[in-house]
Structure 1
Amino acid sequence: MVTAVYPAPLETSRQVQFAVVVRPILWQMRCKFVQTQMRLLQGSGLMTRTARPILKGTGSAIATAGVLALAATAVPAHAQEQVSEELGNTIVVTAQKREQNVLEVPVAVTAIGDNVLEAAQVNEFEDLTSVSPSLTITAGGSQAGHSIALRGVGTVAFSTAVESSVLVVVDDVALLQAGQAFSSISDPQRVEILRGPQGTLFGKNASAGVVNIVTRDPTDYFTGYGQVSVTDDEQYRAEAALSGPINDAGGFRVSGYWSDYDGYLDNLTTGSTLGGENTWGVRGKLQQEYGAVTFTLTADYGEATDSLLPDTYLRVDRANGANADYDLTGITPGKDNNVVRNNVDRFGDSDQLIASFKADIDLGFATLSSITSYQDWRYDSINDQDGTADAVIRHDTTYNAEQFAQEIRLTSPTDGFFDYIVGLYYSDGTTDRSFIRTSPIPPLKQNWDSAADTTSYAAFAQLGFDISDTTMLTVGGRVNHEKIGVFFQDNRPATPIQYSGSDSETAVTGKIALQQFFDNGLMAFASIATGYKGQAYDVSSGFDQRRADNPIASEDSINYEIGLSGRALGGDAQFQLVGFWTDYDNFQAQGVNAQLLAPQFELTNVGKLRTRGIEFETYYSPTDTLTLFGSAAYVDAQIREFPDAQCYFGQTAAEGCVFDPTINQPVQDLAGEQLGNSPDFKFNMGFDYSQPISQSISLFTRGNYTWQSAVNFSLSQNPRTTQVSYGIANLAVGIEGPEDSWALSVFVNNLFDKAYASRIIDDTNPRNDPFVLTQQLPRNYERYFGARLRFGF
């Protein structure tokens, strides 16, 4: 029998997990609580898997250094040792939809605790790239236009009906649209990033991975905090949380945030400041036990008004009178250019509601879980697309994404040689979009409404077998049936023209993993998993019945991984090393449809991809007051097949662009080229240090540094859209009271004032030859300072 320590009852598991990952506030009280619970468990006989052979050694193996870094950075080192002794070196995670020993997670998963998020100054979803080197985000200028990628693979498409390759989950609720994720990360317990296909447990839109955000649960004692911050560029932010019991068997937690920020880019035409956001949100959780049943009700609502990130001029060639019609008065194109001349301020307004009800029923032989959720996201935007002071092109867009989902899982305990998770899943989602493009140029005008529907039915199972005392085998599979539908109405004619279509598809994904535990405290694993991203409609301008009758085919992937993890330096250092190789077929992207009499660029299955590389994560806590953490990734994300790809403007035959008389288009073959915005190498490293300076005050400092190699933002390999390598450092210094009762700090973001762009676009066309390049500058493209005050009890 493979032996491991497992907290079996749901409530006890939740409390043990909470004790491992919480901040050190009221630490002594929590240690006594954990000790009491462990004695109760041992006395009850519930802990039947008492010790793996490996746990009897000097250090236990781990499946991810990131999860242990969570515990390391969340509590003092001496406290970690105490919990490790009490729990038999067990750390509880939920990355695989069950509360389980991290030794039983044979996947590449990073769990980032709240102290790491604070050290890296992660406040927004897009900031997660500073703590996860395999995660990249391509800016789209608006909340709905951003794309998420893991290991170089993501989805960049104009269509509203195309799934993301990376699924975002918030408190067990899978978001329908990737754009919903781009908001404040408030009251997090941890963020888990699962890399590689996760289709077995998470479904069809997790072909590249999952970002799982877990917020804090209610507590059985009163606790809370409040925090305010201000920056030198006039951002004002506040957040707070309150948690406690409502009776002997239930608790609540209420948290909220508010932020007011005008921005950092100036519109010389209107006199406005752009790039800012005014946002607020509130989340509530209620948890109640009734005998063997635990109910959890969660509601999360937020609103945001943002002045969308405009494109600034990076380069405008003016030699020999070129581009003379561009008004550059007051504008100096370049990487530091933060001014624009737009006749209309870009604007976005969103509101989102996510509600879920979870019931966990302890049946004795297993736990039956039911998760019912509803989400509603609305987003309106105005975009001055031409980027000039003239009224040439304006976009007005409205999104509304709604989804109802129901999941039922039966999860066995893990006190025998065999364990399982089996479940059923249902979701029904709709994304409506209205789009109006106004322009004095008739061919550019657009006015249409659309609706894209998706209904999924799935059954899944994951089984674990103990082959021997030190060897585990995990197998899993999922059958998914999806129905999709589309409605499109072109409102430009006097009598609107309507198009509609529907289709369905059944797909099977699977996984097999083998784990080997060694007496020296190491764990090795090897796995094979398949992924699937469903078929989709190309819902965008130019939609017609041909597109309605011919959805884009589904995208498939297969992933191979090997990993090694464990402890070093007497157990003070922990690490994970993972190698991966993933092949994608029928990759969905914008390409040339060569089958048309008049070929055009649209969403299509362009070919094959391959992404492979090595990922390393570690943390080291040499003393009670110092924790170091870091991670690195080498990712080779390469196109294997992509014929008839779009040429970039000015590309010559010598550079690979040839005219194909069959389709009457200049095209290139991108086989062997790299994916867009995928750095070959990226790393981050950080620290958290505190030192008492009196009996009641400690001095602390924390920070991180992230560096990445050069990237090309253009899939067409345009050499003008390359961002050179760069590194960003963040630092905070402050003082704090005992048991986190209060803290006052000052911080700096982009310490060395390193300018960089989150996207570069070649706007060159026959009307403005030779070259016009624009860029999107992120908030921290230049250095800014701030101060933060926090209090807690």
Structure 2
Amino acid sequence: MKHSIALTMPGLAIVLAQVGGVNAQESSLALEEVIVTATKREQNLQDVSVAVTALSEDVLREAQIVSSEDLTQLVPSLNLQKGSNVRQTSFNIRGIGTQSFSTAVEPSVSTMLDGVVMGRSGQAFMRLLDIERVEVLRGPQGTLFGKNSTGGVVHLITQDPTDEFSGEVMGSVLSGDEYRAGATISGPLTDTLGFRLTASGSDVDGYTKNYYDGDYYNGSKDWSVRGKLRWDATDNLSLKWASDYYDAKCDCSVSPMRSIEPYGGNESDVQEVLDRIAPIVPSDENEEVNINSIPATENSQWGHSLEINWDIGEYSLTSITAARGFEIDGKSDGDVDGQPITLLGFAQVGQSEQNQFTQELRLASPANASFNYVVGLFYFDQTVERQFTRSFEIVPGLPGEGIATFEADTSNWAAFGEATWQFSDSWRFIFGARYTEDELDFEFERVREGFPVGVPEPVPLSGQDTDEDDLSGKLALQWDYSDNGMTYLSYTEGYKGPAFDLTFGTDPIDLERIEPETSESWELGLKTRLWDGRLQLNLALFDAVYKDFQSQAYFDPDGIPDCPDDNPGCDPDDDPGGFLLINAGKVSTQGLELDLLAQLSENLRISGGLAIIDAKIDDYPAGVCSDGQKFRGECPDGLQDLGGGDLPFSPDLKLNLAASYTWQRDGFFNVIFNGSVRYQDEVQFGLHQDENTLGDAYTLLDAGVSLQSHSDSWEAAFFVKNLTDEFYPSFIFGMNAAFVPNGYFHRYSKLAERTYGMELRYRW
């Protein structure tokens, strides 16, 4: 299928060129240009030879997208890898995402806030506060972005100070006792100095019932504030300062039991578990628990940045200096056995703190020249500190505890650039490169207190370091076949730096370095405007291969057959066994993406997206097994060959379609009707390919109606999410057989049930 599509794309471009050439002038219903900064210049989305989805403030508001997690509803290639807390949550693009959240591992998908890269995946997950737009760049990036990434970039861009005094207040009330509020004020302080101040907060009541105490959990509270100052010092020099703070608390993730089935004569063990959790009945749609330990997590982050833009003749010099911090206080990791008792006296809890400093310097040549370029330098320095405590009581009355403390320091500098040579009226050649140097070092210490059963030996303060350099590049050819469209073919290389496997059980003396992960990606794209500019259709066909894929595998202390010689983690003499971070092998992803936007009439607009993605494991001989697979004897050696399996969190098919109709009325307001449908194919939630962690396909319907004043000074919206009340999990996982033999649990969001609400906005 892939090859047949590839062969027809040039022919399709010619057909569309002929259609587009008829449109000498765009009609009054023509779509407005969408301006993006995917090439580090302000440029029309349709002129950019990169697969990028841009979501405006209006699009986010109409779809009731209030959290960065919800962006996956509007971008089919973007998926969420939902962990037990924000530290273990990340984005996945085209099937590529972070498979280990070790302290010394880089994210696979880079997230940015106003041009500032965020060093940890969890920093991306916050309320979307005063957003101007979100840009999702798909595939490896690096020749223009401050830190390379193998999967893609999610860039959150916030509103700037306005030239005139303005403001907005909003409030929302939703079913299930959920409340949101926010306010923004902006304007000039002097003729050259402007400001913007925004604050918001939300309170979400719990929605998962716990029979142990009768309360409801998985609720959250958060608040945030952001301030910006913009000083136009001269006609050619402007400075912009931004500061933000975000704080969130939640009692999540409480995970209901999904299934527990007898296997191998353990019927009595299964019945014992069922008796303990009664009246809970495990099922695919179970939303209740019976547990005696509740998770509690608080995370906060802050940031300051100074952006300087200086026009030097026809050239532009940009400097972005930033510092950010991120803290997670895991007050309780919650219930590890899914029951109203504490089996084996086992408990664990962790805290982490991250601080980073970045400096980016860019020079852009005149954009209208036949040869133009953007070149830059980038520096990144990060420190991550983590403490993890694990306790046992194997023998009643003899508790034991182990405390591991570790710190990872990462420094990265790079020189990057991208140039465009327009060698004819309709042909452009784009080429870019990035040279990167990474340095990574860590310190590790582990102590024991009390009875030592199940806790590794004490480790005195020790550590290691490593460094790496890389040169990656990009080549692209772009054909502007008419004023209304273009097609491009690109080859891009990606790079993800070296890593160490820092966990509670780390042995820092024998710890092997994990090699960098690299990728090679081909992309054939088409961007066109048809029907007098009323229809915008963008297509991308891609094929990418990732080598030295960084992931985890389980190794047995009794020896592992057929250990590859080049696998640093695979040693038959390893003792004890457990999960290790390794260079697993090779994975690939290929598929077709489509973005659609059309103004069907003066009052009716539709938009949508489609992603058909085949993300596969090509080579993973010593792959991880789930707890259920090991219990059922499907992994007798503690590992399995995962070659040919699916990459997790990547459905083969995902699509969304939305429509908005404006009923223009005389008087004080118009009425706007909104509706959308989203479909997601079945998805595997684990690398291990356990059939019990496969989530079913589902379809969701949303609907809403808004009353909007003619002057746009006020708006009242009424909406329903998940109209048909269709339950779907965000994650499925198996439990260790020592706690729940052959048992599986799931996590789910509040949007997995019908939710309705009302939102009011007033602007001036």
TM-score, normalized by the shorter chain, greater than 0.5: yes
Q: CA contact under 8 A between 2:473 and 2:493: conserved in structure 1?
A: yes
Per the alignment, do residues 439 and 658 of structure 1 end up closer, same or farther by CA in structure 2, a change over 3 Å counting? Answer: closer
CA distance in 1, matches of 2:145, 2:203: 35
The 10-residue stretch of structure 1 (265-274 or 141-150) with the greater mean CA deviation from structure 2: 265-274
Query: What is the letter of the counterpart of residue 241 of structure 1?
Result: T
Residue 454 of structure 1 and its aligned partner are, at CA, apart by 0.3
Give the aligned partner of residue 484 of structure 1. Answer: 440
Q: Is the 8 A contact 1:386 1:394 kept in 2?
A: no
* In 1: Cα distance, 2:114 partner to 2:597 partner: 26
Aligned to 2:749: 778
User: How many Å separate the matches in 2 of 1:370 and 1:57?
Assistant: 44
Counterpart in 2 of 1:626?
604
Give the unaligned 5+ runs of structure 2. 1-16, 451-457, 555-568
Query: 2:338 aligned with 1:387, yes or no?
Result: yes
2:486 paired residue number: 523
Whether 2:603 is the aligned partner of 1:668: answer no
1:421 to 355, 374, 382: 374
Q: Is residue 272 from structure 1 mapped to residue 215 from structure 2 by the alignment?
A: yes
Match of 2:688 in 1: 716
Q: Does 1:579 align with 2:544?
A: no
Partner of 2:48: 105
Q: Give 2:351's aligned residue.
A: 398
Alpha-carbon distance in structure 1 between the residues aligned to 2:46 and 2:79: 28
Quote the offset at 1:317 in angstroms: 3.2
Matched, 1:281 2:217: no
Residue number in structure 1 paired with 2:502: 539
**For the residues of structure 2 that align with 1:535 and 1:53, how far apart are their CA atoms?**
49
User: How far did residue 320 of structure 1 move?
Assistant: 3.6
CA drift of 1:581 comes to 0.3
Residue 58 of structure 1 and its aligned partner are, at CA, apart by 2.6
CA separation in 1, counterparts of 2:146 and 2:189?
36
Equivalent pair of 1:610/1:637 in contact (CA under 8 Å): yes
Q: Does 1:159 align with 2:135?
A: no
Q: Map 1:539-618 onto structure 2 (within 5 A).
A: 539-546=502-509, 548=511, 550-592=512-554, 593-598=569-574, 599-618=577-596
Letter in 2 for 1:169: M
Using a 3 Å threshold, how does the CA distance of structure 1 residues 321 and 60 change in structure 2: closer, same or farther? farther
- Deviation track 1:427-452 (CA, whole Å, cap 9, x = no partner) reads 11011111112231389953111111
Match of 2:277 in 1: 328
What is the rounded CA distance, in whole Å, between the counterparts of 1:444 and 1:515 in structure 2? Answer: 64
Between stretches 186-195 and 379-388, larger displacement belongs to 379-388
Q: Secondary structure at the match of 1:184?
A: coil
Counterpart amino acid of 2:341? D
The match for 1:511 is: 474
Counterpart-to-counterpart distance in 2, 1:719 and 1:639: 16
**Secondary structure of 1:720's partner?**
helix
1:20: which partner in 2? none
C-alpha displacement at 1:766, in angstroms? 5.9
Using the alignment, how far apart are the partners of 2:630 and 2:495 within structure 1?
A: 37
Say yes or no: does 1:751 pair with 2:714.
Answer: no
The equivalent residue for 1:365 is 314
Deviations 1:75-95 (A, max 9, x none): xx95866xx6xxxxx653211
Greater CA drift, 527-536 or 700-709: 700-709
Aligned equivalent of 1:14: none
CA contact 2:385–2:407 (8 Å) conserved in 1: yes
> Which of 424, 427, 434 is 1:468 aligned to?
424
Which residue is equivalent to 1:207? 150
Q: Is the 8 A contact 2:389 2:403 kept in 1?
A: yes
Q: Distance in 2 between matches of 1:109 and 1:650?
A: 39
CA contact (8 A) 1:163 1:534 kept: yes
Whether contact under 8 Å (1:272, 1:345) holds in the other structure is: no
- Identify which range, 737-746 or 521-530, moves more after superposition: 737-746
Question: In structure 2, what is the Cα distance between the partners aligned to 1:387 and 1:766?
Answer: 12
SS of 1:509's partner is: strand
| Whole-angstrom distance in 2 between the partners of 1:677 and 1:101 | 31
Higher mean C-alpha deviation, range 276-285 or range 338-347: 338-347
Aligned AA (1:632): L
Q: Which residue of 1 aligns with 2:6?
A: none
Confirm or deny: 8 A CA contact 1:54 1:517 kept in the other structure.
Answer: no
Q: Secondary structure at the match of 2:718?
A: strand
Instruction: Give me the whole-angstrom Cα distance separating, in 2, the residues matched to 1:210 and 1:779.
Output: 27
Which whole-Å CA distance do the structure 2 matches of 1:145 and 1:54 have between them?
48
For residues 416-471 of structure 1, the C-alpha deviation after alignment (integer angstroms, 9 at most, x for no partner) is 11111111111110111111122313899531111111001111111111110111
Q: Secondary structure at the match of 1:132?
A: coil
Aligned counterpart for 1:692 among listed residues 635, 659, 664:
664
Normalised by the size of structure 1, how large is the TM-score?
0.86
Look up the equivalent residue of 1:322 and give its one-letter code: D
Residues in 2 aligned to 1:608 and 1:672: alpha-carbon distance in whole angstroms: 11
Q: Distance in 1 between matches of 2:115 and 2:22?
A: 36
Instruction: Provide the C-alpha distance between the structure 1 equivalents of 2:724 and 2:226, rounded to a whole number of angstroms.
Output: 36
Q: Which residue identity does 1:314 align to in structure 2? A: R
Counterpart AA for 1:150? I
**Shift, 1:520, TM fit:** 6.3
Partner of 2:392: 439
Contact 2:402–2:449, Cα closer than 8 Å, also in 1: no
Alignment partner of 1:416: what SS?
A: coil
Q: In structure 2, what is the Cα distance between the partners aligned to 1:59 and 1:259?
A: 50
Aligned to 1:450: 406
Q: Check conservation: 1:537, 1:547, Cα contact below 8 A.
A: no
Offset of 1:55 from its aligned partner? 10
Structure 1 unaligned blocks of 5 or more: 1-51, 62-76, 85-89, 660-664
Q: Is the 8 A contact 2:30 2:532 kept in 1?
A: no
**1:60/1:360 Cα in 2 relative to 1: closer, same or farther (>3 Å)?**
farther
- Kept in 2: contact 1:656–1:668 (CA 8 A): no
CA RMSD of aligned residues (A): 2.4
What's the CA shift string for 1:736-777, capped at 9, x where partnerless? Answer: 2112211112111111100010011122526644x2110001
Q: Give the whole-Å Cα distance in 1 for the aligned partners of 2:288 and 2:270.
A: 18
SS of equivalent residue, structure 2 residue 482: coil
TM-score (norm 2): 0.89
> Is it true that 1:224 corresponds to 2:153 in the alignment?
no
Return the letter of the residue paired with 1:210: V
Residues 552 and 334 of structure 1, relative CA distance in 2, 3 Å threshold:
same
Q: Secondary structure at the match of 2:92?
A: strand
Shift in Å, 1:515: 0.6
For the 8 Å contact 2:337–2:735, the answer to whether it is kept is no
Question: 2:725 corresponds to which letter in structure 1?
Answer: D
Pick the aligned partner of 2:300 from 326, 351, 368.
351
| 3-state SS of paired residue (1:323) | helix
The reply on whether 1:295 has 2:239 as its aligned counterpart is: yes
Is residue 726 of structure 1 aligned with residue 673 of structure 2? no
Q: CA deviation at 1:202?
A: 2.0
Quote how far apart the aligned CAs of 1:236 are. 0.8
Assess if the C-alpha contact under 8 Å between 1:158 and 1:540 holds in 2.
Answer: no
Residue in 1 aligned with 2:762?
A: 791
How far off is 1:546 after superposition? Answer: 3.8
Where does residue 453 of structure 2 map in the other structure?
Answer: none
* Secondary structure in structure 2 of the residue aligned to 1:322: helix
Q: How many Å apart are 1:342 and its aligned residue?
A: 2.4
Deviations 1:581-624 (A, max 9, x none): 00000000011432141353211000001100000111111122
Structure 1 counterpart SS, 2:692: helix
Partner of 2:14: none
Distance in 2, Cα, partners of 1:585 & 1:546 = 27
Judging changes above 3 Å, is the alpha-carbon distance between structure 1 residues 791 and 650 closer, same or farther for their aligned structure 2 residues? closer
Q: 1:297 to 1:547 in 2, by over 3 A?
A: farther
Measured in 2, the distance between the counterparts of 1:497 and 1:585 equals 35
The structure 2 residue matched to 1:191, chosen from 123, 127, 134, is 134
CA 706–286 in structure 1, closer or farther in 2 if over 3 Å, else same = same
